[in-house]
Amino acid sequence: MTAISKEERTARQGSDKCFVPNIVLITLSLGLLMLLWSVDSVSIAPNRIVPGSGFMLWQALGLPGALLVSVLIAALAALALTPQKRFYSAQLIIIALLLLLMPFGLMVAGALLIEPDMPQARLGVSGGFWCLLFVMLLALVEVRLRLKLSRLWPALLLCFVAAVWWLCALSWLDHVALVQEFKARDAQFMRALQQHLVLVGVSVSLSVVLGLALALAMRRFSRLNRLGFALLNFVQTIPSLALFGLLLAPLAWLASQVPLLARLGVSGIGMAPALIALVAYSLLPMVRNTYTALDEVDEATLEAATAMGMRSAQRFWQVRLPLALPVLIEGVRITAVQAIGLATVAALIGAGGLGTFIFQGLGQAAMDMVLLGALPILVLALLVDASLGALAERLRPEGMQ
């Protein structure tokens, strides 16, 4: 037998690995086909009050449309049987195409299912549609990991898809119930979105400043280390709604006793308790990541900086902080995503935000209004997670995982 060199054996093993089927993408593709042919994706209701009748996607698009989508999904699965880099690139294109076709599918469904003598009819987006979207996003994540793309690229793709969806919604999707809810409350929606962004932006900014100060103090004083983490962990155990409630009475009392605070807008309800609660919940991930990031800087690097004549402040600003920055940014990412979700509850104490639509929709049993508040929160969380994650990857030195 001819001896095989180590290089040839490694090359053959790598070649064999290239042709191992991607079970994840195959499973996701089969799930998409199942949702397409067996789960209601849209519904038709004669008005806002009467419940709608569900239709599967193949019924809404007709057989030609359903077969076209099925062929694209089958191609996604077929390319996963012998995955290679060029095949993953083709799968990325197929997923993007499927995402872009979804609003046009709603247009076709409205044209086929809504009768001309039903002017008040509404096309509802059912659970099957959102399940299709969710599974396609999972496939997008899998392809991104296989192609080793930065987190920023899927975020940019989703921004482009969202822009196309928005254009379609404003121009051709007047019959969709979610679009009708938006157009009936567009000014209120923009005001709630602004309030939500202010809540998140201010709370995260305060958390970054306070978290950095606390982490530095806890590194300097060992007793403060244990006490600080114990207190921050205790705050995390308090349910968010309970914490908002606990702040009502003390802040109302302070506002009545200190006129300056009342003039600044501090009261038992509104922005003040919402910001305090959001900052309190955001401190633990921020402090923990900052503390860990600063503590894990290689001592040999700091000793080399000292040998070069750097003073303590110079070592911190020029060596320790830049090396700790990627982990610190990860803390900001976790804090921001958490704040985007928690700011929803602030609507219950008069702080506004997108949670207003969620709780109004739940009170009126109007799921389209709930989605009007929930979908922007989901999009904001995805964009912030992807952009800050990409920034952390960009700042991470070569060779660090």
Sequence spans of domains, the chain: 10-149, 186-395
Distances (CA, A) of 8 to 4, 12, 14, 82, 271: 6, 6, 10, 21, 66
The torsion angles phi and psi of 44, rounded to 5 degrees, stand at -120, 125
pLDDT at 302 over 90: no
Tokens 């962990």 identify what position? 233
pLDDT recorded at residue 5? 55
CA distance 123 to 42: 7
Which two tokens mark 384? 């912030």
Residue 248 and residue 260: Cα distance in Å, rounded?
18
Examine the pLDDT at 2 and tell me if it is beyond 60: no
**What would the CATH number be for the domain defined by 186-395?**
1.10.3720.10
Encoded tokens for 355: 């949670």
Q: What is the mean pLDDT of residues 329-350?
A: 90
Answer yes or no: is pLDDT of 359 > 50: yes
d(CA 396, CA 392): 6
Task: Decide: 53 and 129 in contact? Cβ < 8 Å.
Answer: no
Q: Is the pLDDT of residue 264 over 80?
A: no
Q: What is the pLDDT of residue 15?
A: 47
Between strands 53-56 and 40-45, the pairing is antiparallel
- Residue 194: alpha-carbon gap to chain centroid: 18
pLDDT 10s digits, 129-157: 899 999 999 999 899 888 888 777 877 88
Q: How far is CA 305 from CA 299, 302, 319, in A?
A: 10, 5, 8
pLDDT (0 to 100) of residue 200 = 93
User: Strand 53-56 vs strand 122-125: parallel, antiparallel, or unpaired?
Assistant: unpaired
Amino acid at 137: L
Q: What secondary structure does DSSP assign to 93-158, as a single string?
A: HHHHHHHHHHHHHHHHHHHHHS-TT-TT-EEEE-HHHHHHHHHHHHHHHHHHHHHT--THHHHHHH
C-alpha–C-alpha distance, residues 102 and 129, integer Å: 9
Q: Is the pLDDT of residue 193 over 80?
A: yes
Q: Please give the full DSSP string across 320-369, using - where no structure is assigned.
A: IHHHHHHHHHHHHHHHHHHHHHHTTGGGGGT--STHHHHHHHHHHT-HHH
Q: What is the pLDDT of residue 72?
A: 93
Structure tokens at 250: 């003390």
Helix intervals (H) in 39-114: 57-81, 85-113
**Region of poorest pLDDT, from 118-122, 167-171, 349-353:** 118-122
22: helix, strand or coil: coil
Amino acid at position 256, single letter: S
Residue 346: predicted pLDDT = 87
Please, what is the angle between helix 177-184 and helix 186-220, to 10°?
A: 90
DSSP state of 176: B
Over 90: is that where the pLDDT of 321 sits?
no
Please state, in angstroms and as integers, the Cα–Cα distance from residue 210 to each residue in 53, 214, 280, 392, following that order.
Answer: 52, 6, 10, 20
Higher pLDDT, 79 or 155: 79
Rounded average pLDDT over 341-359: 89
Q: What is the mean pLDDT of residues 212-224?
A: 85
CA atoms within a 13 Å half-sphere pointing along the CA-CB vector of 260:
0
- pLDDT for res 307: 81
Neighbour tally for 9: CB within 10 Å: 10
Q: Residue 205 — very low, low, confident or very high, per pLDDT cuts 50/70/90?
A: very high
Amino acid at 72: L
pLDDT at 83 over 80: no
d(CA 278, CA 189): 22
Q: What is the arithmetic mean of pLDDT over 222-240? A: 84
Structure tokens given for 6: 């180590």
- Model confidence over 8-43: pLDDT tens digits? 555 445 444 456 788 999 999 999 999 888 888 888
Q: From CA 351, how far away is CA 355, in angstroms rounded? A: 9
Q: Are 43 and 53 in contact (CB under 8 A)?
A: yes
pLDDT class of 324 with cuts at 50, 70, 90? confident
CB neighbourhood size of 155 (10 A): 18
pLDDT of 7 above 50: yes
Q: What is the residue type of 229?
A: F
pLDDT at 177: 85
pLDDT tens-digit readout, 361-381: 888 878 888 989 999 998 899
What is the average pLDDT value for the chain, to the nearest integer?
84
